């Protein structure tokens, strides 16, 4: 079996089949697994990048039926049961596509070239560098309008990532950046969360949506609802309501799409950039190709647009694929995928989070503590768990973020004045 991608789905499938009589070959463009739910903390100097990443070979150390190769799959040849990658061709008996998702700019090239996405460790580090570099520039400029643009952060998208990122930046504004840049007037710094819909966190209940908005506003975030960004040139953002914003820090969290590999029948993908699968997680039209996680879409009565693109879905789909794979060898009936929703949560800031598990809903400090405990349990590797826990305790006690480092200065080709160019 060939597995493309070591996200939550690919990792779970390989681990579940560790004792099976099957050769597993995993291909990923990186040599590490990324714990994406904490990327925003890397971007806001709360965690080191290596505390949310873990070497793939170390995850599967001692698993005798597992082989890893670093490379990028560029094409699938279903008729030949073969994949084409940057490191050569490889035949498969069974193929699992777990390539995850990437930022969806909905065809707007200005957003793609000028805004900051946050779907990988590299992008999170770029965002951290950009924000810190812009504050360094703000110290040097005498132009009031330019200084305000350098100190204004706009987050587009009111989902969990956008809410968590906006809250973390507000905490930087309140507790960290004024100590680093005492010469600046932080009344000029604005953190604005822009959401095209009528509410934040649309996947959660109405009470938690309102609570998240209240938490953000308490932290000093401006929440603009029913507002979409329609144009951005790297300095000036324009909304559909005609408002204009000067900012050099526009972060895009407004949408994701699946990472599709060429070669599958075009009818297998939908308009949202996801691969259509059946109730056994098989790609429609193929008997030996599976897909799971963010890239997969199973349309059903409860989820007409596919399941949410979250880790529990990927993990449960991978578990089903593994169990059905073993059942098939024993000629046992296959099971259909039935997602068990364990709940959802989002943290807004220190002692501020919203949680809902079935009909149980709570927030505040208890929700924040539950959010931290769950994420610590899900992190890969004891070292990472310990490092993250120590960082969180230190940050909580000292109201500090120690990792305010511009290790690799970020610059766009279109920004001739960016530091480090």
- Residue 144: CA count within 13 A, CB half-sphere: 3
Smallest Cα–Cα separation from 354: which of 182, 227, 167?
A: 167
Strands 289-291 and 95-97: parallel
CA distance 359 to 343: 9
Phi-psi label, residue 211: left if phi above 0, alpha if psi -120 to 50, beta otherwise: alpha
CA distance 392 to 390: 5
Residue 128 to residues 90, 131, 239, 395, Cα–Cα distance (Å): 38, 5, 25, 17
Alpha helices, H only, 160-241:
160-171, 177-180, 206-218
Q: 391 and 46 in contact (C-beta within 8 Å)?
A: yes
Smallest Cα–Cα separation from 162: which of 294, 36, 254, 34?
A: 254
CA distance 123 to 51: 16
183 tagged catalytic? no
Residue 214 to residues 138, 189, 193, 210, 321, Cα–Cα distance (Å): 30, 20, 13, 6, 41
Residue 245's DSSP bridge partners are 237
Q: Which of 12, 123, 148, 164 is catalytic?
A: 164
Residue 333 DSSP code? P
Q: 379 and 105 in contact (C-beta within 8 Å)?
A: no
CA distance 115 to 48: 23
Residue 376: Cβ-neighbour burial (10 angstroms; 0-12, 13-18, 19+): middle
Q: 395 and 401 in contact (C-beta within 8 Å)?
A: yes
Cα torsion through 19, 24, 27, 31, rounded to 10:
30
The residues carrying an active-site annotation are 164
């Amino acid at each position: 079996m060939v597995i493309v991608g070591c996200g939550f789905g690919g990792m779970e499938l390989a681990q579940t089949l560790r004792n099976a009589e099957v050769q597993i070959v995993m291909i990923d463009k990186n040599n590490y697994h990324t714990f994406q739910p904490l990327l925003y903390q890397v971007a806001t100097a709360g965690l080191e990048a290596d505390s949310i990443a873990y070497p793939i070979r170390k995850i599967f150390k001692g698993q005798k039926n597992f082989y890893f190769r670093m490379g990028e799959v560029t094409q699938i040849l279903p008729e030949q049961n073969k994949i084409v990658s940057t490191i050569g061709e490889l035949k498969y008996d069974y193929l699992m596509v777990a390539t995850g998702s990437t930022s969806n700019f909905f065809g707007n090239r200005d957003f793609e070239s000028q805004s900051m996405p946050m779907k990988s460790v590299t992008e999170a580090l770029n965002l951290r560098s950009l924000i810190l570099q812009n504050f360094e520039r703000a110290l040097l400029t005498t132009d009031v309008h330019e200084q305000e643009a350098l100190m204004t952060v706009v987050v587009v998208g009111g989902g969990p990532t956008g809410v968590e990122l906006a809250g973390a930046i507000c905490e930087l504004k309140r507790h960290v950046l004024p100590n680093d840049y005492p010469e600046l007037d932080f009344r000029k710094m604005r953190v604005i969360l822009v959401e095209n819909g009528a509410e934040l966190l649309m996947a959660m209940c109405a009470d938690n949506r309102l609570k998240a908005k209240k938490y953000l506003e308490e932290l000093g975030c401006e929440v603009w609802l029913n507002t979409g960004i329609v144009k951005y040139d790297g300095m000036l953002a324009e909304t559909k309501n005609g408002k204009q914003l000067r900012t050099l820090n526009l972060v895009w969290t407004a949408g994701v799409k699946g990472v599709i590999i060429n070669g599958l029948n075009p009818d297998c993908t939908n308009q949202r950039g996801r691969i259509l699968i059946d109730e056994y997680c098989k790609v429609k039209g193929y008997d030996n190709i599976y897909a799971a996680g963010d890239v997969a879409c199973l349309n059903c009565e409860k989820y007409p647009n596919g399941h949410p693109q979250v880790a529990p879905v990927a993990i449960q789909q991978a578990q089903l694929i593994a169990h059905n794979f073993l059942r098939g060898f024993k000629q046992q009936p296959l099971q259909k995928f039935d997602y068990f929703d364990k709940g959802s949560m989002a943290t807004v800031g220190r002692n501020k989070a919203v949680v809902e598990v079935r009909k149980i809903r709570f927030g505040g400090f208890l929700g924040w503590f539950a959010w931290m405990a769950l994420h610590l349990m899900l992190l890969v590797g004891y070292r990472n768990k310990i490092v993250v826990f120590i960082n969180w305790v230190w940050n909580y006690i000292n109201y500090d973020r120690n990792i305010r480092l511009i290790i690799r200065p970020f610059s766009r080709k279109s920004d001739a004045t960016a530091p480090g160019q």
